[in-house]
Structure 1
Amino acid sequence: MSDYEMKFDPHTIEHLGVKMYSTLPPALAELISNAYDADSGNVTLDFWEVGSNKFISIKDDGTGMSATDIQQRFLVIGRNRRRHDGDKPTPRFGRYATGKKGLGKLALFGLAKEITIDTVKDGKRNRFILDWNELLDADGVYNPKVELSDEPTDASNGTTIKLSKLKRQSPFDLEAIANSLSKIFIVDDNFNINLKDQHGHVVSVNNARRYSGFEQQFEWDVDSLVKDDSPYKNKLKGTLYTSRTPIRPNSGLRGISLFSRGKLVNNPEFFSNSTSSHFFQYLTGWISVDFIDNLDDDVISTNRQSIDWDNEEMALLREYLSTIINQVNNDWRNKRKEKKEKELEVTTGIDTNQWMSTMPEDIRQQASKIIDFLGEEDALEKYSPVIEALHTLVPEYPLLHWRYLNDKIKDRIKVFYTNKQYGMAADQGTKIYCEVIREITGLSLDGTELVNLVFSPKEPVIKLCDTSNKTGMSIQSGQRSLSQGVIESFRNPAAHMPLDKLVPERYSELDCLNVLSLISYLFERMDGAEIIKEKEAE
């Protein structure tokens, strides 16, 4: 039977093993990574609680280890497998190793005081035990207890690691462990991670679990965000999501996680110095940056929680990721606005785009502030009556001039007004005024000649009131003067004005409404007037 030998400084094991991997998910993640790198298709973690004793076993169906592998690879702390074995794909699944520094195995000692490793490779079985207390007492060289050495077996290749005498005493929460592990791995179709308790209940670790803790609203494919001429084209992939409501701060989901070779290399963040915008409360997702594993410099921290952003190439990557996040921020705001407008229209029946387009700029700005505040998705149902009340107070074309125009002209000039042909709208209003006068009097005159005749104070055709007294005469005379003023000061000049002078830039909305308001006033004065039939003047 061979004697295995581990050479080390005991303090190395204590600092890197216990301190770095003192919590369950990161330590288990290292053991799962070992199974992944061993070309395993399945890894199962069994959790046992027998009385006060707790055990964890991690079983994979990977390549396993020979006695030589154990001595020259597994028991060598800090061995860089890529430098020694080459960075090449595995034969079964074509994977590139996630491990690099040779320190992940120390996660074993962060969890348990006794570790049994049972492994099969090419028909030979090896089993040995690592004891924490004996290891600490060793003086630079530790010999694990060997139970089986190159024992012939018919068992399939694979490795089982049993963790006994666990340092933690709290009960196992498989759902919580699976949730944490799902944030560490991107699980592909040929690598299954399952957690199982002593009652046979199985919990799977998968990508869907990672983002199951929030209500997704929008998503973006990272590759589609990278322009074709970018140096990062085909180097970045992943998916970004925004939630319908703010993501809980303690959920571990706020921000974008970076992965390389299927494993976390940078905890969620936003790659921006300014994160005050409420957009960042809604953003999550992941991006694979596999190319960083091929750089000359090792830019991934030992605990795989962060990237060395001081590295020149990583600083450029961070700057580019910031531009992608800004792009998503702008798109998110547009998508939310469109969605909110559709929901608001369904709830209230108000087309906000159409409504806003009819408002003058100063009114539109103020109304938009109110709608944006009240129309947030989580407040939409509660405040929709307020928006409906606002629509009543500030309807389409909200200027009072327009709202109270006489019906005799409002409907007939609406097409010009809504198309912002303000000069044409006012011009048509004066023409309609004369047209209505001709219709009710039967006269064929036009312009000032028409109004001078029909509103004559002494012999009126349209008699507005009793003209036998000074007040009545003033009213009748005033109608004639105002009508004549509209025609002489606007209608006649407009009739001879080139069409390009009647565009909105030359003739404002307020100009138009002022003319139409006066015509509307003149129409109102004619309501109930007495029509006196008389021959046309020669």
Structure 2
Amino acid sequence: MSLSLKFDPKTIEHLGVKMYATLPPALAELISNAYDADASEVTVSFLEQNGTPKAITVEDNGTGMSLNDIQGKFLVIGRNRRDEGDIPSAKFRRLATGKKGLGKLALFGLAKEISVETVKDGLRNRFRLNWDALLASADIYNPQVDVEDKKVSQEPKTIIQLTELKRKSPFDLEAIADSLSRIFIVDSNFKIRLKDGKGRVITILEDRRYSNIEQQFTWSEDDLIESDSEYFGKVKIFLATGVTPIPPSSGLRGIALFSRGKLVNAPEYFADSTSSHFYQYLTGWIKADFIDLLDEDVISTNRQALNWDQPEMSKFREFLSTLIARVGQDWRKRRANKKDKDVEKVTGINKEHWFSTLPPDIKTSVEAIVKKMGESEEVSETFAPVVMALYAIVPEYPLLHWRHLHASIKDGVFEYYKNQQYGHAADQGAKLYAAFVRKLAATDKDGVELANFFSFTYDTIARKCSKSPTIPVNDLSTDSLRNVQEGQGALTRGLMQGFRNPINHAPMSAVVPSLISELDCLNILSLVSYLANKLEYAENLSKP
């Protein structure tokens, strides 16, 4: 049988050479053919000689082609296989990824000499295509047939070998694997293997696509599509954000669209504005097989873009735009929450508890600052140190902290104060001071009598104390220091008579909060702290 390929040479040149001049898209077309042929695996082998590419071989274990298949299907350019009906494959029930019948032109984008060997129903056929001979033909090209319907005891398969390659640079197996992983959503029953001349094999698995991205948050269709949406059950979604911005060079920024497991729209955001930092972190895919079922073909020939002007696709794009915007909002919330948890882990600061201890006016300002930083897309590593610095300035119960109370007084009244028992806190402060005085005076007296332990008699003629105080708060060497000593006694008496005694001789409910507000409490504690600090002089004198 004489095989023939009918064509316009310009068609071959424009749709083959120019569209598939780069390796991954061209290989993707050959891999798609294997998938459509119900193969469970396809192996792409690369042969080099002294670093120069010599051959590419694509072998699959699909159904193979008969001589009639070769002539009526493979060698017909522009054949729309969907015209024959969208029928699932026999073994894996796959729906065809090919539609335009142009993928075979990928062969001429890579090489000048192409050999196709195939086995189906125990019959083997092999033919060759030559680029120069094809262009020299008018409108019909007759490939060279090497083997015709030879009976063999072999399983079905197809082997396509490309030689006289146009590529001059060495093959980068890892880079090719990365590129192919972005073109296919790998079927669990379809393995893609890459092999070099040294026996190295890379199997392209589904997780390869995002293996170099440290994922932080993910979303699926269950998170994003409500049951009443017209797209419920019609799309599969995997969206993720990285811990750090995704490098533009990775080709993974944005959301890729797939139909029937193959790329139909390069990654994008489906948004009018992409100024937000959120888009630098976003990647993922959306599988929408319904795109292939539309009456109008909306997929570009190179499968890099969709016709968004088509009414159904325009509506779908609007849906995707809204969906991505929701993901952006959720990302900011999740990121802020994670920042809070990270800050608590690093600093030990519980943000909510901290805020609850602040007075309303201070809380409003501090909360606004922390919230703004938490929502900021720019603040990340600096967030915890900034919060720690702010916490140092505005700690829990700041009004108490800012009084710089004597340590023993502050510690002793803290439980009362934080529970808003201001009368008890002030009373406890006075009691702690009284206990300090009794200890230094070695007495069991209490109340206003404690003021007497600061009394002294000074002989102005002899210029010395004729009676020294039991508890001196300084060396009494000057009039000013003696005034301070007398003031210590007077203030102690005032504290006991003006505050301590009323508290002790009346129910606490009668004086709190009508007489002892938070401000009153703080003022009393400041006085107590001042008096307690003055006792340190006498305490140091008593030490051996």
CA distance in 1, matches of 2:289, 2:524: 70
Do residues 313 (structure 1) and 327 (structure 2) align?
A: no
Q: Which residue of 2 aligns with 1:340?
A: 342
TM-score, length basis structure 1: 0.79
Check conservation: 2:107, 2:162, Cα contact below 8 A.
Answer: yes
**Distance in 2 between the 1:106 and 1:406 partners?**
87
Residue 464 (structure 1) shift: 6.6
- What residue number does 2:332 align with? 330
**Structure 2 letter corresponding to 1:175:** E
Amino acid at match of 2:268: E
TM-superposed deviation, 1:170: 1.4
Spell out, residue by residue over 1:299-329, the C-alpha distance to the aligned partner (whole angstroms, 9 max, x if none): 3222111233333232233224313531552
Change (3 A) 1:317 1:109: farther
Conserved? CA contact 1:456–1:477, under 8 Å: no
Cα separation, 1, equivalents of 2:43 and 2:484: 103
**Cα deviations by residue, 1:54-81 (Å, 9 ceiling, x for unpaired):** 1111111111112222222222222221
Give the count of matched residue pairs: 508
State the match for 2:216 in structure 1: 218
Aligned counterparts of 1:389 and 1:436: Cα–Cα separation in 2: 33
SS in 1 for 2:245: coil
CA distance in 2, matches of 1:371, 1:297: 47
Whether the aligned pair in 1 keeps the contact of 2:16 and 2:105 (CA below 8 Å) is yes
The residue that corresponds to 2:89 in the other structure is 90
Corresponding residue number in structure 1 for 2:250: 251
Question: Is the CA contact 1:219–1:239 (under 8 Å) kept in the aligned structure 2?
Answer: no
Relative to 1, partners in 2 of residues 1:313 and 1:76: Cα closer, same or farther, differing over 3 Å?
Answer: farther
For the residues of structure 1 that align with 2:450 and 2:325, how far apart are their CA atoms?
68
Match of 1:534 in 2: none
Query: Structure 1, residues 277-297: CA drift from partner, whole Å, max 9, x if none?
Result: 444333333332223222333
Q: Aligned partners of 2:159 and 2:123: how far apart in 1?
A: 14
Unmatched 5+ residue regions in structure 1? 531-538
Aligned to 1:417: 417
Q: Is the 8 A contact 1:46 1:58 kept in 2?
A: yes
Match of residue 526 from structure 2: 517
Q: Is the 8 A contact 2:40 2:61 kept in 1?
A: yes
In the other structure, the counterpart of 2:465 is none
Secondary structure, counterpart of 1:496 in structure 2: helix
Cross-structure match for 1:428: 425
Name the structure 2 match of 1:49.
48
Cα pair 2:217 2:331 within 8 Å, conserved: no
Residue-by-residue CA offset, 1:4-24 (whole Å, 9 max, x unaligned)? 233322212211111111100
1-structure distance, mates of 2:424, 2:271 = 57
Kindly provide the CA deviation profile for residues 177-230 of structure 1, in whole angstroms up to 9, marking residues without a partner as x: 11211111121221111112223222222223222223x243424133124435
Deviation at 1:472, TM superposition (A): 4.8
Q: Distance in 1 between matches of 2:16 and 2:261?
A: 23
Listed as ranges, the matches of 1:369-518 within 5 Å are 397=397, 401-402=401-402, 404-419=404-419, 421=420, 424-430=421-427, 432-433=429-430, 437=434, 440=438, 442=444, 472-481=485-494, 495-496=509-510, 512-518=521-527
Matches within 5 A, 1:57-96: 57-82=57-82, 84-96=83-95
CA distance in structure 2 between the partners assigned to 1:138 and 1:37 by the alignment: 30
- How many Å separate the matches in 2 of 1:253 and 1:335? 26
TM-score normalised over the length of structure 2:
0.79
Q: What is the deviation of 1:469?
A: 6.6
Letter in 1 for 2:216: F
**2: CA distance, partners of 1:481 / 1:416:** 23
Letter in 1 for 2:223: L
How far has the Cα of 1:450 moved from its partner? 7.9
**Who is 1:536 aligned against?**
none
1:236, CA displacement in angstroms?
3.2
Change over 3 Å in CA distance of 1:257–1:490 after alignment to 2: farther
> What is the identity, as a one-letter code, of the residue corresponding to 2:323?
L
Shift of 1:244: 3.7
Q: In 2, Cα distance between the equivalents of 1:274 and 1:183?
A: 25
Any conservation in 2 of the 1:226–1:233 contact (CA below 8 Å)? no
Which is further off, 515-524 or 3-12? Answer: 515-524
List per-residue Cα deviations over 1:137-194 (Å, max 9, x = no partner): 3333333223333332222212111112211111222222112111111212211111
- 1: distance between equivalents of 2:482 and 2:43? 107
What secondary structure, in the 3-state scheme, does the structure 2 residue paired with 1:256 have?
A: strand
Secondary structure at 1:303 match in 2? coil
In the superposition, relative to structure 1, how do residues 143 and 416 fare at CA in structure 2: closer, same or farther (>3 Å)? Answer: farther
In structure 1, what residue type is equivalent to 2:201? V
Distance 1:328 1:205, change over 3 A: farther
Q: Which residue of 2 aligns with 1:130?
A: 129
Relative to structure 1, the CA distance from residue 125 to residue 486 in structure 2 (aligned partners, 3 Å threshold; closer, same or farther) is same
User: 1:257/1:53 Cα in 2 relative to 1: closer, same or farther (>3 Å)?
Assistant: closer
Whether the aligned pair in 2 keeps the contact of 1:23 and 1:111 (CA below 8 Å) is yes
Give the Cα–Cα distance (whole angstroms) in 2 for the partners of residues 218 and 225 of structure 1: 16
Distance of aligned partners of 1:494 and 1:274 in 2 relative to their CA distance in 1, 3 Å threshold: farther
Unaligned ranges ≥5, structure 2: 458-468, 540-544
How many Å separate the matches in 2 of 1:437 and 1:152? 113
Q: 1:147 to 1:57 in 2, by over 3 A?
A: same
Indicate the SS of the match to 1:35.
Answer: helix
Using a 3 Å threshold, how does the CA distance of structure 1 residues 192 and 339 change in structure 2: closer, same or farther?
farther
Find the counterpart in structure 2 of residue 260 from structure 1.
259
Q: Percent identity?
A: 47
Taking the aligned partners of 1:393 and 1:323, their CA distance within structure 2 comes to 37
| 8 Å contact from structure 1 (residues 426, 512) kept in 2 | yes
